[in-house]
Structure 1
Amino acid sequence: MREGVLDPSGWRLWRSQDEMKDLVKTGVWENRTTWQDAVAFAQSDPDGVAIWFDDGSELTYRQGCEEAITLAASLKELSLRKGDVVSATLPNWREMAIINLACCALGLVINPIIPIYRDREVGFILKDAGSRLLFTPGGTGSFDYLAMAARIAAKTPSLEHIVTVRPGESESATLSYAELIEKGNPEQFEAAEVDPSHVKLLMYTSGTTGIPKGVLHSHNTLRRSAANSREARGVGEGDITLMASPVTHVTGYSSLEQAFNSPIKTALMSRWDKAAAIDFINRTGATLTVGATPFLKELLDEAEARGTGLPSLRQFACGGAEVSPQLIVRAHETLDNCRCFRVFGSTEVPLVTQGYLRPEHANLAAETDGRIYNYDVRIVDADGRDVAPGEEGEILARGPSMFLGYTDWQETMKAVDGNGYFHTGDLVRAGPEGSIVVSGRLKDLIIRGGENLSAKEIEDVLSLHPAIQEAAVVSMPDPRLGEGVCAFLVLQADCPAPSVGELSQFVRQQGLAPQKAPARIEVISKFPMTASGKIQKNVLRERIREII
């Protein structure tokens, strides 16, 4: 494995300088930043809407740039400089779009953190990222984000600033977003000279070891991923993407980017609600959307209940969880003009496949996970040999929109081989006309509504419970979310089994997101084991499928 190129932010990247220069020279990488395009849009179409929000508000190109300049001026006064990491644990709010633009303008690395995460996850991420500033809700619902931020800051030397966003801001907070906007002096703003090949996004994804992995992307890799979709699907001027996925996921984050660096605009939902989604699509004329299986199913339920075929909607890319062929067929029967299709990708390799759009390919859209587009793919067996056509194997992928590496160089070396292929851990079979069908995964992950949950991370926390001798966490079928969390438990002698409610409370107390708590418990006397002493989780998965 190569030694890796050192990025100005301090991380090692797997591509060589010569490779990156060639991608720019040949035009495969556009070599532009989102800030450059945002400024161009603000000059050519200042009052054009870039993003619609589901609270009825809008953000124009001029408003986005002007507020981002003010925020950037304040961030610069806080001594933030090119290459520093700025974290944000925010929902799909207007402020997140501005924060992203300001980071782009200054060459800062933006680190979106999933808002459901709690002390354990957020604390690890901030420390691993070396974050200097954290944007956090001032007070949302029943959870005190500011108190969590204060607890974490006391253990995180790099974290110098906590900035609260929206009402509920505490007097104890040293800074608020509103203050930064009020005090920022646009005359002191000066955009940084940013190399589009340097790291600009740091996004964490669940790892099979229980430790989140920090995925590194540049302007160039992300722009190439977006360009892949535009080229493959024939979308662009006049299109509007309904986005309900969190902007703290690579799918949702792309909606913040595309609103200012492409002709496609965004209709951003702060949270998923099927009734609100129908109204929002009709109000904005949204033409595109990308979402996990629950979004599509519930959208169809609501559309059928209202007797609408959502005529403006043209494409629905569905992925992130198991998608049944019947759901795609139903979508084509329910929606007037929309082609629905399955896609496959990850944070490391965004959208390896694109969908089948032609009506004559409806069976491929329903029965495969899309066609490979602008990726070089291998399907290999356990020994790394290419499998015969139609046989199951792990899919390896490499391409110009592939990530630059992990924050942990050792993890990069494990995941990216000497030929530049990323080992996805997903099992697939090659299908007709360049398609693939996902059949399983090597990784010990649970995909709950498109969210990757590490079984190991949950098991480590459950093992701390005094009544539990050993825990094995597996996925179980969930009619809404695709997969749920099931915990098989071997109990300590003479200890009663904890209830689902008790375990849920325990998981929260240990600092994990509540979504990671087991939704079902199965007590077992001993685990089925392999000859080498490993728990046979495939047996446990099959057992829970038979029970439910």
Structure 2
Amino acid sequence: MNNSLTVSASLQRAARKYPQKQAVVLEEQACTYADLYQRSQMLACGLSKLGLCKGDKVALLMLTRIEFPEIYFGVLRSGGVMVALNGGLKGNELIYMIQHSEARFLIFEDNLWEEVKKIQSQIPKVKELIMIGEIIPQGLISYQDLILGSHPGDSGIKVAGDDEACILFTSGTTGAPKGVVVTHENIFINAINQIVEWDVRFEDIELFTVPLFYAGGLAALSRSVVVGSSLLLMKSFDPEGFMEIIDSEEVTRTGLASTMCSLILDLPRLDTYKVSSLRHMIIGGSILPVEIKKKMMELFPRVGVYDTYGQTETTGSVACLKPVDAPRKIGSIGKVLFMNEVRLVDEKDNEVSTGEVGEMVVRGPNVMKGYYKDPQATAEVLKGGWLHSGDLARQDKDGYLYLVDRKKEIIVSGGNNIYPREIEEVLYAHPKILEATVINIADPVLGETVKAIVVLKAGEKMDEGEVIDFCRERLASYKKPRSVDFVRSLPKNPFGKILKSELRRKFGSLPPQKK
């Protein structure tokens, strides 16, 4: 891959062509393309002076901050590998990821110093602690001093497309989190994939609603600099603030986790917000329930709503349902993107027939290099050169994909296979239900049974029997929930994905997580 076809080289081009254009905005803070490029170059040189060599790991621990983009591009420019860490991590999980990734440098914000201080003696591989903040404890390096003490020259390190760029950790719901290694080519190709398929334009003002430390966040930064658009960040999502920003900043495109859509729909006086500037809305994280999709299309009739599918292991997107196809293919995740190939296979990797359910396997230049220091897991998931996603889907005669469920989420009750997503679709159709999910509960007779966990809309009341009866009328009897719990909210990761593992622990189908 040509050295110029990387996102760090794309930032250099954007800074040269549109130096005074806003690249990133967070509340009252903003940086132009010239500023972003200059500061990322200064960081790259500063890290080199600290002894960073090509391939060294630089861990980044922070929530959404204006410095995140310059650190991302600076580490890539330096030839280092950025280890993106969830800013909410604590204790053993944080120690594991830092040690497993073999990070030599840790950049973190001052609000997280207490957490870092607790684990400092247990991360001996980290040679330099770099803090973002005003008051820097003795023995730590000031991020601002590191930047200001360096010149924005070339670090002298050249990167190639197949060089490692980032390590992104999976959620670890079935064991220790895995470090997904993505290359410079993976990131650049994913950006091109999204720009082409989602019609991303130079004049776009994109509102990004979730943290940047996920694959989706890095993808947003990357496609923005490749095309030269502007990216607006939110420190944390709230539906009212989201609508206000679209109104006041004349946002043209935005991305939402599917679980955020219900919160937006539940807002009062939605018709008071001006959304005429909004062209596109990208929905990801998990599949948007059909009833919620219909309501979003009614609420935003002039906005193109894209349903997208991807994984950390694909650096972002693999398939999307475009707005033009939504009315006739609602419920689908669309067609495979132009840079990718998808097959649906059985347990023996034989391709299944049209309309049959099979595991989705993916191939393309945005598929990860592998799992860091885990050759066995890498060989298993990349068997035969195809990424085995663990997701079950079917494909219709027109080539549109329909996600059925995760293989590991299937509930086997009395010998019957039950797909939780089918039940969740029914629950979301009830007018009193705001959010819902379904998990398995151990049963001495049937092996497993279905439990529904429900969040009601404000002011609504339901009992267990009402939920079960509603499902019984719309599903085969063996699929209906055997029990229902009502909660105030569902646990989610910062990307808005419902954490079923936490619910299983709470309701007894998984052992408690070790601290």
TM-score (norm 2): 0.77
Provide the C-alpha distance between the structure 1 equivalents of 2:452 and 2:218, rounded to a whole number of angstroms. 28
1:127/1:158 contact within 8 Å kept: yes
Q: What CA deviation, in whole Å up to 9, does each residue of 1:215-247 have, x standing for no partner?
A: 111121111112112222322221222111211
Residue in 2 aligned with 1:368? 332
Candidates 186, 203, 210, aligned match of 2:151 = 186
Candidates 116, 122, 135, aligned match of 1:155 = 122
Provide the C-alpha distance between the structure 2 equivalents of 1:475 and 1:165, rounded to a whole number of angstroms. 45
Residue in 2 aligned with 1:42? 15
Residue in 2 aligned with 1:6? none
Q: CA deviation at 1:518?
A: 4.5
Candidates 235, 241, 250, aligned match of 1:276 = 241
Kindly tell me: are residues 30 and 310 of structure 1, through their superposed partners in 2, closer, same or farther at Cα, counting changes over 3 Å? farther
Aligned residues: CA RMSD:
3.3
Please give the residue correspondences for 1:65-464 in structure 2 after superposition, counting only pairs within 5 Å. 65-139=37-111, 145-166=112-133, 169=135, 171-172=137-138, 174-182=140-148, 184-186=149-151, 190-207=155-172, 209-302=174-267, 304-308=269-273, 310-349=275-314, 350-358=316-324, 361-364=326-329, 366-373=330-337, 374-407=339-372, 408-418=374-384, 420-443=385-408
Q: What CA deviation, in whole Å up to 9, does each residue of 1:142-162 have, x standing for no partner?
A: xxx323323333122320111
Q: CA deviation at 1:478?
A: 4.9
Q: CA deviation at 1:346?
A: 0.3
Kindly tell me: are residues 203 and 276 of structure 1, through their superposed partners in 2, closer, same or farther at Cα, counting changes over 3 Å? same
Letter paired with 2:368: F
Q: What CA deviation, in whole Å up to 9, does each residue of 1:456-509 have, x standing for no partner?
A: xxxxxxxxxxxxxxxx9999545499xxxxxxxxxxxxxxxxxx9xxx9xxxxx
Provide the C-alpha distance between the structure 2 equivalents of 1:217 and 1:475, rounded to a whole number of angstroms. 37
Percentage of identical aligned residues: 23
2:43/2:75 contact within 8 Å kept: no
Please give the residue correspondences for 1:50-61 in structure 2 after superposition, counting only pairs within 5 Å. 50-53=23-26, 55-61=27-33
Provide the C-alpha distance between the structure 1 equivalents of 2:156 and 2:43, rounded to a whole number of angstroms. 12
Q: Which has the higher contact order (CA 8 A, sep 6+)?
A: 1
Kindly tell me: are residues 49 and 157 of structure 1, through their superposed partners in 2, closer, same or farther at Cα, counting changes over 3 Å? same
Provide the C-alpha distance between the structure 2 equivalents of 1:156 and 1:204, rounded to a whole number of angstroms. 17
Q: CA deviation at 1:406?
A: 1.1
Kindly tell me: are residues 476 and 98 of structure 1, through their superposed partners in 2, closer, same or farther at Cα, counting changes over 3 Å? farther
1:312/1:337 contact within 8 Å kept: no
Q: CA deviation at 1:94?
A: 0.8
Provide the C-alpha distance between the structure 2 equivalents of 1:443 and 1:173, rounded to a whole number of angstroms. 46
Provide the C-alpha distance between the structure 1 equivalents of 2:89 and 2:382, rounded to a whole number of angstroms. 28
1:112/1:248 contact within 8 Å kept: yes
1:34/1:257 contact within 8 Å kept: yes
Provide the C-alpha distance between the structure 1 equivalents of 2:299 and 2:204, rounded to a whole number of angstroms. 21
Runs of 5+ unmatched residues, structure 1: 1-23, 140-144, 448-454, 456-471, 482-499, 505-513, 528-534, 538-548
Residue in 1 aligned with 2:462? none
Runs of 5+ unmatched residues, structure 2: 411-419, 422-438, 440-447, 458-486, 492-498
2:332/2:402 contact within 8 Å kept: yes
Kindly tell me: are residues 473 and 37 of structure 1, through their superposed partners in 2, closer, same or farther at Cα, counting changes over 3 Å? farther
Letter paired with 1:72: A
2:39/2:152 contact within 8 Å kept: no
Kindly tell me: are residues 70 and 515 of structure 1, through their superposed partners in 2, closer, same or farther at Cα, counting changes over 3 Å? farther
Q: CA deviation at 1:190?
A: 2.8
Residue in 2 aligned with 1:19? none
Residue in 2 aligned with 1:545? none
Q: CA deviation at 1:170?
A: 5.3
Letter paired with 2:321: G
Provide the C-alpha distance between the structure 1 equivalents of 2:287 and 2:71, rounded to a whole number of angstroms. 33
Kindly tell me: are residues 219 and 303 of structure 1, through their superposed partners in 2, closer, same or farther at Cα, counting changes over 3 Å? farther
Please identify, of 291-300 and 389-398, the stretch whose mean Cα deviation from structure 2 is larger.
291-300
Provide the C-alpha distance between the structure 1 equivalents of 2:3 and 2:147, rounded to a whole number of angstroms. 32
